[in-house]
Structure 1
């Protein structure tokens, strides 16, 4: 079992991560300042979204996908506004 998760930090920023361990344990690590450098300077944190996967590779791939998203697209995911996700995708223009 593995998880992709999104945390809201005290400064209002979002942190996207993944873990193959217990999600509760990983949240405890973040909340005590031992999760990663980014969240350790932005305490307290709050879990705002999580997805469960059978394979850690899938959770990690999803983490990397969501890390590339805009703030608004992440907020749509958190709010469950799935229909809005496509419209919030960044436009990729062909190279000339």
Structure 2
């Protein structure tokens, strides 16, 4: 019997208004569904629908939260550069 390792995802959404939203969740796909149902963050509720652009899984919760914090505290230009560096296109 193998023990499944818990993972934690840092994710980036593209909001309907063109803005980015960075978040964290142990279940990224359920969290995106919650955002699109209007049950996500206050920020995304008025910017629906949202689209998952990027996510990265971590085995350490702190690392996922740190990635989220760093993304949220960057300028728009740096967020765009981060996404491009990870092969993400959104236009």
Query: Unmatched 5+ residue regions in structure 1?
Result: 83-96
The equivalences for 1:1-96 within 5 A come to 1-20=7-26, 22-80=27-85
The CA distance in 2 between the partners of 1:54 and 1:15, in whole Å, is 22
Q: TM-score, normalised by structure 2?
A: 0.82
Segments of structure 2 that go 5 or more residues without pairing to the other structure are 1-6
Equivalent pairs, count? 81
Distance 1:44 1:25 in 2: 15
Deviations 1:30-70 (CA, angstroms, capped at 9, x unpaired): 11110111101100101111111001111001100111111
CA contact (8 A) 1:19 1:56 kept: no
Structure 1 runs of 4+ aligned residues shifted over 3 Å read: none
Alpha-carbon distance between aligned partners in 2 of 1:72 and 1:63, rounded to the nearest angstrom: 16
Q: Secondary structure at the match of 1:35?
A: coil
CA RMSD of the aligned region, Å?
1.5
